[in-house]
Copies of this chain bind each other. A is one copy, B any other.
């Protein structure tokens, strides 16, 4: 790795840390952040680590009007030996650049970004919680900063990385979620931005989530935008089904985000000689498998929850209860294996883990 020059300006006023045994997700932030600027003609410049501080922008900055922005999400874990582990972070930097390409944001130097991330984490290492299931959530993001009211690509950007200590996702053991199948709202469509990690996709999803939660469902199952038939994602996660011994996940089609957890699950399953197929799968096929008693398990995959077992789908006034609403054995095994690799308590056959 090259020796990148990152200016470091440490804080003189360290914050009081929250209680690490009762952390909420995404509410607390560490003492420092990474920033780098982009200026047309000059490229990305001035990478620096500075005290965590507010962003000051002109009210006409394009991020506020035209949503030109991308982000990533990954985690760092502290092992019992006080080592800091990242899980496939190069995948997140690659995806950030794929998102950049879709949103017309200039490419970043992935190696520099990773180097900066490691530096930042090393500086704020006291903020990494160590209790079982806890971690340091990492949020790299880029925003368009040019003050200009016109629909065009911005001529200036800021790339930032902020860090947030997060508690265990499952505080009282794995708890399957209930999911409403969404038939009115659409998250993304082929030709849109669904396979980019960009703000507008999440803004579009809020309404469906709000309406589902009114009827007691915590997330929605997204169907495709063209035919409202094929399954795409669940909440902000990729989705897997176990049907009659075989594992199926929707094929990447341009409107599905290519999850790092999704890819890792596929590799793990193949490693275990379990058949896993990436293909189109319709809600009707799920319903039929359910009726025939062949729908054995369903689960979401994503950085936050790692594996999120699904206990029930609500579709057209019918409740499809899966595995008696309990966590299935495959979901559990995947969760244990992945989190074990991530936090260093299990061997890492794929070389996924990166030490800071």
A264 at interface (Cβ–Cβ under 8 A)? no
Knowing A189-B192, A201-B200, say if A69 contacts B59 (CB, 8 Å).
no
CA distance A143 to B151 in the complex (A): 18
Give the bracket for the number of chain A residues in contact with chain B.
Answer: 35 or more
Chain B binder among A76-84, A90-98, A203-211:
A203-211
Q: How far is the CA of A25 from the CA of B151 in the complex (A)?
A: 11
**A127-144 contacts to B (CB < 8 Å):** 137, 139, 141, 143
* Bound CA span A102–B52, Å: 33
Stretch at the interface among A14-22, A60-68, A273-281, A319-327: A60-68
A207 touches B149 (CB 8 A): no
Write out, one digit per residue, whether chain A residues 182-211 have a CB within 8 A of any chain B CB (1) or not (0): 001111111111000011111111110110
On chain B, the residues within 8 Å of A59 by CB distance are 29, 33, 52-55, 160, 162
CA of A227 to CA of B227, assembled, Å: 9
- Is there a chain B Cβ closer than 8 Å to A44's Cβ? no
Query: Which residue of the partner chain B has the closest CB to A137?
Result: B149
Select from chain B the residue with minimum beta-carbon distance to A27.
B148
Taking CB atoms and an 8 Å cut-off, the chain A residues in 100-152 that contact chain B are: 102-104, 137, 139, 141, 143, 147-152
B206→A104 contact, CB < 8 A:
yes
> Are the C-beta atoms of B203 and A68 separated by less than 8 Å?
yes
Chain B residues with CB under 8 Å of A301's CB are none
B residues in contact with A42, CB < 8 Å: none
Q: Does A329 contact B (CB under 8 A)?
A: no
Offer 14 A-B interface pairs, CB within 8 angstroms, sorted by A.
Answer: A26-B148, A29-B58, A52-B59, A65-B69, A67-B69, A67-B202, A151-B202, A153-B206, A189-B192, A189-B225, A189-B226, A193-B203, A199-B200, A226-B227
